[in-house]
Structure 1
């Protein structure tokens, strides 16, 4: 291919991409914004625009991670490096916050501006990527081959008019290497100073030209493994602990003071609760448990008694030897293993017309482990509906109309005797709470297979004035998960009802065996389950009650698109640029749980299967008009605009649009501004998720105590329900019993009537390059951003729903509350049965802040040292990040809270010696942060009642080039060995098993890595 032809090819290829190629300047992290512009002869591709133009300006704030930055980080997953950028918020999913999830373990996501991962659009080579989580648009960054990346482009601000739905906070585009020739190989090993979380990675990239350089093909193979860390492996997380302020005193001065140990009240030997005797006034029930020697003993009165030091449970107190240390089975970081294959190629089969393709395959394997299941007879994990009590004697029918009462032989005699009513007329059933240690840990093993390929053609038209491309993009994610540690509730319940086989009902010749009382259950293999004492559930019983879980998902995405861009005509200030295109996209998602999970019969909540699809046809137009150029006070002035129309099969037609302006009064400074209307269409999960049942706690019924008259709005709404009126008629005022308080459940689910989210986004900034002052190597950019998202899709909290219905008389929320029309055997008339939480377009989100990026690079020849030094600081200040649950409601003000620090920066310093040695330092600062303001309000405090100090992390790397083909490097992350701040159980931002906000702060401590790179 001759140089002219190759230049045309490059113009076409780059014009169809989203972003500009980064300059070949080795900067230790994010490249300066000015380096986002690269000339391809007389053409510059401007970031955030689809128009190829000679105008040398970027209208939207942009930061770029180049390949040197990726190498300097030593990152196994690109998420690790991106999260150092202060423009990114706390990720929805990562290795350190997904151990307790039934779906999403080990997934890695990003969240620009901290307004939700679904509002950040992730692209590969400028095109969409299939989601990694069913029902969502969230891309799993595990599928990105880190060492195959040429760069990562981070565009902040609304960009839906150019790239479609989801680009509300911005776009992250991962650009693969192109036109690579040769072989690059890399091997790396890392370990923490504590000797855990071993990390391995090995990668090789091979590329070659062919057909007289008319074509190029590249392939990349990668493998990585991150070992994970268990909570019991670290001294500070070995024991379960909790906040004294949250659980005991309510005094926020005690917020960071730990109750240690804070052991679980569900011990493996069990607690057995005999309720109060209803026939004897003042009679109190008794709780039994087993001591360390396996001896049964009474523990304490359930009616207001104070637990002794060795007792089994009492509201938040240390449990002592009878408690269970959950932390010994929990995880700080889950292990993740990845296999990656990527390929890309192009071929010029006629002059100016090219074929191209991309392909990626990824397999991610992860696993989770948490403590054995805590089962109780009643409550949210209970297996006895209604009263939540287990019978300790049974009625046995002989088939001839005769009924006999049989004592359960597994119930210890002391418990049986204590349960006998004082007047001798019967027995009280018992409740229990028990850790199912014999069943084993709850575990999950997950594999995700990701497939993606793109094929297309591109070229030029009309004497190279226009560039065009047409492509087809297919992606699929398949997940398979197997979990253990749950139990079949029906079988468990049958196994608890036991009698002595005095009549040889099992037909084995024995009349002394214990058997299940239910004949049908016996026919189905029922085995008695002995829950009294640790280790007493037999292997045969375990096999009978075992409930292995399965979860499969499949997500597919297909995109066909065509683009055309070029110059319409010339004005005195330059050519008028235009880009236009059409796109068709179809997405499907389905998730399939096992039958017991669907029915809620594995001691967990009912979770239905979900399936859905949508398609969308889109068209866009972008125009850029130069107004003035090379005139006094107007070295450059141009304006631009873009509009996109999208017709969804779900929400109908939606519109997004944007306007841009750039003014360059002199060479050294330019001002830029953008306005955009961005959209996010509801995803499949938000639309079509089935109703999954949950059992909320801490619900206070607003009707409690309401009489036949009065009570204002609350009273009127309460009395509009027949059941409430029946209750008032029977009791004088609306009265609830304990079962009513515990018997509230609800359903979470999708809403097919959702509308799209809409966002108004503004950016205003300046880029200063003071060359006229002799500072040729300095660049400073300052950008203000303001994003206002309306129609936010969210499921309202249940307390909020009750407030909106009964205090605000909002019928939308009243429709989510269902009351019992009449009394049942257990529950009172008018008591709340369900409070549903269905997705609605009821919330809004507002955020604004300031980004400042300063870069500097210089040679050291003037001082006789040789080599070059480069430095960069990226700083973000968040003025506000306010979430409004509904119109007119107070905001949840998140700016300054843990995970959304008001001040963050990353600073880099690198030195390249002429000898081939390279050294770099990266410092990351997270400003002082506070507990959630809603948490503080709940305890009677003002916002910012408590918080944690600022953190500064320092990373370092040193590398040596040995000859032309070999590089050896060594790095240390968290060089200062900072401990994560203590954020305990019971507080808002605690990640279970870590004693901190593990998705915000470093939980690994100092860690080392070393590796080699080969290049031929």
Structure 2
């Protein structure tokens, strides 16, 4: 029997706007409570929500064997998130593929301090999984309650309200195939006090997770020569460049050569390339999956003074180490000086050091392009520490409900040269004075010299961002309408963002790092007022209106409204919809971050310089021919200098969007929903994708900045106001609980998203280019050099069974195929195959105080799809598929 819902329980307002969906009561009767739904400040039944919200409980995360929030973000159909990379930014979420800067992440309804460098998104790795009660994803964008910058949607991580007792859990993931990518996770939680009986509760939880690096060589079967050759990317097509043994040129002969080419170069460091050169063996150095460590802490204290007054204080600290890897340090020019090997060096070809002689040499100095294999991988350690304290006071005064909150967040990110980095100038000095051998591994003197010029352990970047905010929301009933009480909510909030970003002087010394010293500091104040009105015209029709007025200290005022409706003519059928506008100012990094006059990094992929290596197929590296007198390996099929950084001319982007959907219950225990969504943006803030420059170099010639001698200084790739973007699709959900049987209870659930439109406009008034199921013109901005992946269809399908102490779940994560880049040659035109991963878990709670879960991830050992997109070094879709393969997953929990 259902309990009657009182007026008091039916209405409670909060600017925190924590969405608490229907809770299952383990007593004889099911209790239905009025709750706050993400995207609104007004409490209502979860089934009354007019906005589309996806909810995943903490228990579901455990049942599916997930070890990190990255597992969840990659599986969500409405998310186009990329697998975390070596970039160091950690895990972020990209709802609708619109960019991580357009997805608003909340913890208990309030913001965190963003990742410290870009300051436009939150690193989810710092959020403690063991504290999570549920994750709710508002799939409708531009929230008038949380912020008009939530163009893609809102992800709200909601922690447990209270906890009593003591529990510890341990989890292990062990891949079937040898190598890295093994994971260990341990967590412990303790709590005291019963909120209902004692009037208070306090709990704390610590969660630690570690994953080891997976080397590309550990999954060599994914990038064999046969596979790469079949897609037109045979490793031997490369020529020149940095390798060990080094390639060399002379002042009179610009064709690169190698003294060890005839003998096969030197395994495993290099392989034979084209034109008498050796090339770096990427398979020997690359990382298929980075290594990282996370330790998170969360504590919450709740004091209930009386029925109408509760105070909550919580504190979070998340720390993460990410080990990023690059190919070994090279003899990159330092201060304009190239690596010169004189004939006096014993390592000169044909000299006393044993390096084979090369025909035609007459003692002239050699310019060497050397990869220092003795140093191993160049590894950076990226450290992130994110802390947040939040105070929430809620209660009732007279006829008004109120919530008053304060939050302070501090995000620190530091990057260190961990191993394999040396002084560039001293490296060149060691070559010129004969101490170092660029054509082989070092003798004892060479090793000692490398150690003496090491800069390992040095801090190269220090970044801090902060978020300080206060908010107040009040609400009350106004009058009774035919459908119930009309409700009004009024709120205001004020927050201040600050950033500080410094690249230290050591970057001038470690020239291989491809960075330069810089410093930027900025801040922004935002004051907002918002209102929400709930109008239940009839028992069948409910309307909701909201409006938000934001004042930015650097961009002035913007007013953004939102309206939604819910119409339920029968018990079995409900219609819902919403419309909104959005406004997103440039991040502090994009507008006020560092600005350097020259190149700051290299392109992610290899390209031909369209001026100095002309004549090839546009966008197809290796098809051009170097101009006379130029070294082909420096201008053809090579990573080119690129300038990134802030842009003081950026202006805010704007959006508008709407949703329309229905929920149907055609049968008992069967619920089906479908929601159409559409989002349009103008003045889109993004970086131009790399391929755009090279597929149409004439159009973008002004972005190729050149030196006086015609050489390429850099490609200008700062964030810009581009044209527009249009995205739309249909979210589909189905849930069915089969009638109970003697062998247990069975459930099936499907959540999927079908894209109907994803178009990008590179400049205003230019044609829109489709990005659905193909590599188009969409860019991920500052977070990743990988292209956005927009699958036509993506779903999660689960089959669940339980009986007594036993439960089991089989889950499929699926996405459709993709049209490949195909910038190679007509004979290599192909499509990327669809990708399907099955995960199986079994849970048992029959032991006293203990729960055991075991399962197999990637049950069928599916391989990541092959791609010839040149941003993917190993030839498979690493940003959207896992290279790990089948793995055993075991979790044990014990309650004291």
TM-score range, shorter chain: 0.7 to 0.9
Is 1:450 the counterpart of 2:354? The answer is no
Residues 940-997 of structure 1, C-alpha deviation per residue, up to 9 Å, x if partnerless? Answer: 769x94222222221111122215632222111111111222235xx2452x4x5421
Q: How does 1:669-688 map to 2 (within 5 A)?
A: 669-688=573-592
Is 1:896 the counterpart of 2:773? The answer is yes
C-alpha separation in 1, matches of 2:156 and 2:772 = 27
Shift of 1:671: 0.9
Tell me the equivalent position of 2:669: 777
The partner residue of 1:604 within 514, 517, 523 is 514
Residues 385-429 of structure 1, C-alpha deviation per residue, up to 9 Å, x if partnerless? Answer: 38x573738xxxxxxxxxxxxx666644679997778xxxxx854
The partner residue of 1:314 within 258, 270, 274 is 274
C-alpha separation in 2, matches of 1:679 and 1:835 = 29
Is 1:385 the counterpart of 2:336? The answer is yes
Is 1:19 the counterpart of 2:4? The answer is no
Residues 173-198 of structure 1, C-alpha deviation per residue, up to 9 Å, x if partnerless? Answer: 11111133233332222211114432
Question: Per the alignment, in what secondary structure is the counterpart of residue 166 of structure 1?
Answer: coil
Residues 190-237 of structure 1, C-alpha deviation per residue, up to 9 Å, x if partnerless? Answer: 211114432222222222325852112121122222233222223415
Shift of 1:623: 1.4
Is 1:755 the counterpart of 2:635? The answer is no
C-alpha separation in 1, matches of 2:716 and 2:236 = 37
Mapped contact 1:488–1:603 kept (Cα < 8 A): no
Higher mean displacement: 122-131 or 474-483: 474-483
Shift of 1:931: 1.3
The partner residue of 1:374 within 326, 330, 344 is 330
Shift of 1:491: 2.4
C-alpha separation in 2, matches of 1:205 and 1:295 = 56
Q: How does 1:228-239 map to 2 (within 5 A)?
A: 228-237=213-222
Tell me the equivalent position of 2:402: 468
Tell me the equivalent position of 2:538: 628
C-alpha separation in 2, matches of 1:6 and 1:703 = 76
C-alpha separation in 1, matches of 2:505 and 2:772 = 43
The partner residue of 1:478 within 412, 421, 425 is 412
Tell me the equivalent position of 1:517: none
Tell me the equivalent position of 2:193: 209
Shift of 1:687: 1.1
Is 1:48 the counterpart of 2:33? The answer is no
Change in Cα spacing, 1:133 to 1:10, as seen in structure 2 (3 Å) is farther
Is 1:493 the counterpart of 2:493? The answer is no
C-alpha separation in 1, matches of 2:894 and 2:487 = 43
Is 1:219 the counterpart of 2:204? The answer is yes
Change in Cα spacing, 1:271 to 1:577, as seen in structure 2 (3 Å) is same
Shift of 1:645: 1.3
The partner residue of 1:700 within 610, 624, 641 is 610
- For structure 1, the residue ranges without an aligned partner over 5 or more in a row are 27-36, 245-253, 278-283, 297-309, 376-380, 394-406, 422-426, 499-513, 515-527, 630-635, 706-734
Q: How does 1:169-318 map to 2 (within 5 A)?
A: 169-195=152-178, 196-209=180-193, 212-237=197-222, 243-244=228-229, 254-255=230-231, 259=235, 266-276=242-252, 287-290=257-260, 313-314=273-274
Mapped contact 1:230–1:331 kept (Cα < 8 A): yes
C-alpha separation in 1, matches of 2:256 and 2:156 = 63
Mapped contact 1:989–1:997 kept (Cα < 8 A): no
Change in Cα spacing, 1:341 to 1:389, as seen in structure 2 (3 Å) is closer
- For structure 2, the residue ranges without an aligned partner over 5 or more in a row are 616-626, 776-788
Question: Per the alignment, in what secondary structure is the counterpart of residue 374 of structure 2?
Answer: coil
Is 1:571 the counterpart of 2:541? The answer is no
Larger Rg: 1 or 2?
1
Is 1:338 the counterpart of 2:324? The answer is no
Change in Cα spacing, 1:879 to 1:873, as seen in structure 2 (3 Å) is same
Change in Cα spacing, 1:543 to 1:963, as seen in structure 2 (3 Å) is closer
Shift of 1:874: 1.1
Question: Per the alignment, in what secondary structure is the counterpart of residue 257 of structure 2?
Answer: strand
Shift of 1:239: 6.1
The partner residue of 1:845 within 725, 729, 733 is 725
Is 1:594 the counterpart of 2:490? The answer is no
Shift of 1:918: 0.9
Question: Per the alignment, in what secondary structure is the counterpart of residue 147 of structure 1?
Answer: helix
Residues 342-378 of structure 1, C-alpha deviation per residue, up to 9 Å, x if partnerless? Answer: 1112112355122111111122223233431233xxx
Higher mean displacement: 923-932 or 845-854: 923-932
How many residues are matched?
844
Tell me the equivalent position of 2:470: 560
Tell me the equivalent position of 2:620: none
Question: Per the alignment, in what secondary structure is the counterpart of residue 475 of structure 2?
Answer: strand
Mapped contact 1:219–1:343 kept (Cα < 8 A): yes
RMSD of aligned C-alpha atoms? Answer: 3.8
Tell me the equivalent position of 2:281: 325
Mapped contact 1:488–1:601 kept (Cα < 8 A): yes
Tell me the equivalent position of 2:830: 946
Is 1:869 the counterpart of 2:746? The answer is yes
The partner residue of 2:142 within 159, 162, 168 is 159
Is 1:348 the counterpart of 2:348? The answer is no
Tell me the equivalent position of 1:1011: 891
Task: Return the TM-score normalized by structure 2.
Answer: 0.85
The partner residue of 1:958 within 833, 842, 846 is 842
C-alpha separation in 2, matches of 1:291 and 1:243 = 21
C-alpha separation in 2, matches of 1:146 and 1:285 = 56
C-alpha separation in 1, matches of 2:794 and 2:850 = 36
C-alpha separation in 1, matches of 2:67 and 2:364 = 59
Tell me the equivalent position of 1:880: 757
Tell me the equivalent position of 1:767: 663
Tell me the equivalent position of 1:521: none
C-alpha separation in 1, matches of 2:65 and 2:575 = 36
Q: How does 1:494-509 map to 2 (within 5 A)?
A: 494-498=429-433
Question: Per the alignment, in what secondary structure is the counterpart of residue 597 of structure 1?
Answer: helix
Residues 636-681 of structure 1, C-alpha deviation per residue, up to 9 Å, x if partnerless? Answer: 1122221111111232222322111222222211111111112222
The partner residue of 2:438 within 520, 531, 554 is 531
Question: Per the alignment, in what secondary structure is the counterpart of residue 160 of structure 1?
Answer: coil
Mapped contact 2:401–2:475 kept (Cα < 8 A): yes
Change in Cα spacing, 1:871 to 1:893, as seen in structure 2 (3 Å) is same
Is 1:440 the counterpart of 2:376? The answer is yes
Shift of 1:169: 0.9
Task: Return the TM-score normalized by structure 1.
Answer: 0.76
Mapped contact 1:980–1:1002 kept (Cα < 8 A): yes
Mapped contact 1:274–1:287 kept (Cα < 8 A): no
Question: Per the alignment, in what secondary structure is the counterpart of residue 538 of structure 1?
Answer: helix
C-alpha separation in 2, matches of 1:877 and 1:382 = 49
Residues 430-473 of structure 1, C-alpha deviation per residue, up to 9 Å, x if partnerless? Answer: 3212121123321122332221110121101324xx32111111
The partner residue of 1:365 within 313, 321, 330 is 321
Q: How does 1:908-919 map to 2 (within 5 A)?
A: 908-913=798-803, 915-919=804-808
Mapped contact 2:236–2:271 kept (Cα < 8 A): no
Shift of 1:45: 3.0
C-alpha separation in 2, matches of 1:420 and 1:546 = 33
Q: How does 1:784-803 map to 2 (within 5 A)?
A: 784-796=676-688
